[in-house]
Amino acid sequence: MTIQRQNREALYASLPEVRRIGSFYSGYPLKEKMVVLDDDPTGVQTVHDLYVYTDWSYESMRAGLLEDGHIFFVLTNSRGLSAEDSRKQHTEIMENLVRASADTGVPFTVLSRGDSTLRGHYPMETQVLKDGYEASGLGIIDGEVIAPFFPEGGRYTIGDVHYVQEGDTLVPAGMTEFAKDTTFGYSSSDLKDWVREKNPQMDPDAEIHSVSIDMLRKEGPEAVCALLMNVKGFEKVIVNSACYEDMEVFVTGLYMAMAKGKHFMFRVAAGLVRVMANIEQKPLLKGAQLRTESELGGLVIVGSHVKKTTLQLERLLTLDTVRPLEFDVNRIGEEGFETYMARTIAEVKEILLSGKTAVVFTSRKVVRKTQENSEANLRFSLSVSEALVRIVRELDVMPGFIVAKGGITSSDVGVKGLSAKRALVLGQILPGIPVWKLGEESKYPGICYVIFPGNVGNEDALRFVVDAAQNRRED
C-alpha cells in the first residue's frame, strides 16, 4: 500500500462530523496518581501549573505521589541515552515508584510520553515498565495504548496513518526528515506497520487493535470501552485522532474500561496527556512574564538540527537585539578546545552585559561519526550537548531569560547546566512551547526557562519568543 501526502482540508472533509459528547468526564476520575515519564522536557507542551522532577530517586517519587494534584512529570531524557542506559533507568524508575507507592499508600498509573514524530527507545521502554509493574505484584497490564496525537505541533493519526503537518499538507510520518533520524529512524507511516517494524520479534499473527475516527464520532465511548475490554496479552491499541474532541471520546471509553478492571500501558504524545489529566487550556504566556528584573540580555542555546530549527534560527538572527555565536562542533576533542570554550563563554558574557541576547548555535551541518553505528552518532551528539551545557554551567552572570532549542539540548541545559531538580510548569509561550519556572535549588532560582522543541512552531516562532522576552512584550 502506497501512502501519499494529503491535503489537510480535503482529508478532513472526508471524515464524519466532529461532535462533543455530553458524557465527557468531569474532574479526574481515577484514584491513581498519573506519573508521566518524559523522554525529553518538551512533554509538558499541553499542561500547566504542575511540577516536573528531573530525577527519579525514591525521594522524588515519594514527593511526587504526596504532593497536591493528580499528575506529575518525571524528566528521563531517555531519548538522549543509549538503549542499555535507558533500560536500566526505566527499571530503576519502576522500582522506586513501586516502593514509594507502597510506603505512601498512593497508587499510580504510568504514561510513557514519547515523541510525536515517533522517535525514541520504543518498544523497549514500555516493555520494561510493564515487566516491572507486573513483577511487583500490582496487576497484569492488558494492553498498550499508542497515541502520538499532538495537534499543537500538527501531528494527527487518521486511518491508522500518522501525519505531520507541513503548511496545508499532511505528510505521512515515514516520509519526513524525522523518519531519517540517525539514531531512531523508521520507514512506516501506518502505525500498525510501525509497531511491527519496531517489534521485529512480534508474532506476525498478533492482533493490533485500532480505534478509528468512525468509531469515535459515530459510536462513541461505549464502543471504545467494548473494544478495550477485549484487549489482552499486552496487545497494542492504535488511537486515531484528528482533534481534541476525538481524544475526549477515546479517554471517556478508556476510563470506562479501567473502571471495570482493565490495565494499560501508554506510549503517547502530549495530546492524550492533557485529556487524560483533564487539564483545561490556559491562555498563552506573555513575553513580560519570561523576564527577570535584570537588564542583562537573554541567552538562547540552539542544538537541534532539524530543518524547521534552522529556518527559525535564520529568522531569529534578523533581530537587531541579538548577537550570533556559532559553536564549531568539530573543535570538540581537538587540541586547543579548552581555550576555544573559554573564549566562547567570555563572548556570551560580554553580549549579556551589553543588554543584547546571545544566540549560541551549533554548526548547521549534521556531523555523523559513522554512517552505520547509531550509538556512535548518539555519543557524539551527547558530547556536543555537554559542550553547550558547559557554557551555561560556567557562565558567571544571570541572563534575563533562557531559551533552549531541541529536546536533548533543553534537557541537558536544564538539568546539568541549570541544576534544576523540581520546576513549576507555568504554561506555554506559544502552542507546544512550554516554560518552566526554576526552583530555589537551581543555579538561577526563579528564572524562566523556555523549552523550545526542535520540531514545533512556524518559521517566525523562535524570533517571536525571543523578541517578546527581550522587550517584555505584553501583547
Which pLDDT tens digit goes with each residue over 6-15?
A: 999 999 999 9
Q: Of 104, 107, 139, 134, nearest to 33 (Cα)?
A: 107
pLDDT band at 292 (very low <50, low <70, confident <90, very high): confident
The whole-number pLDDT of residue 454 equals 83
pLDDT digits (tens, 9 = 90+) for 49-76: 999 999 999 999 999 999 999 999 999 9
Q: Give me the pLDDT at residue 23, please.
A: 58
CA-nearest of 2, 23, 3 to 11 is 3
- Give residue-wise pLDDT tens across range 231-271: 999 999 999 999 999 999 999 999 999 999 999 999 999 99
pTM of structure: 0.90
Q: Which of 35-39, 308-312, 374-378, 462-466 is the least confident region?
A: 374-378
Position 372 pLDDT exceeds 60:
no
Q: Which domains does the chain have, with CATH numbers?
A: 6-276 (3.40.50.10840), 287-470 (3.40.980.20)
Do 3 and 172 touch, CB atoms closer than 8 A? yes
* Beta-strand pair 322-327/357-362: parallel
- Picking from 442, 406, 464, the residue whose alpha carbon sits closest to that of residue 42 is 406
- Write the DSSP symbol of residue 80: G
Q: What is the DSSP string of 270-316?
A: HHHHHHHTTPPP-PPPPGGGG--S--S--EEEE---SHHHHHHHHHH
Furthest-apart CA atoms within the chain: distance in Å: 67
DSSP state of 201: T
pLDDT of residue 384: 85
Q: What does the mean pLDDT of the chain come to? A: 92
Cell, residue 102: 507502597
Please state the rounded mean pLDDT for residues 356-364.
Answer: 91
What is the percentage of the chain residues whose pLDDT exceeds 70? 96
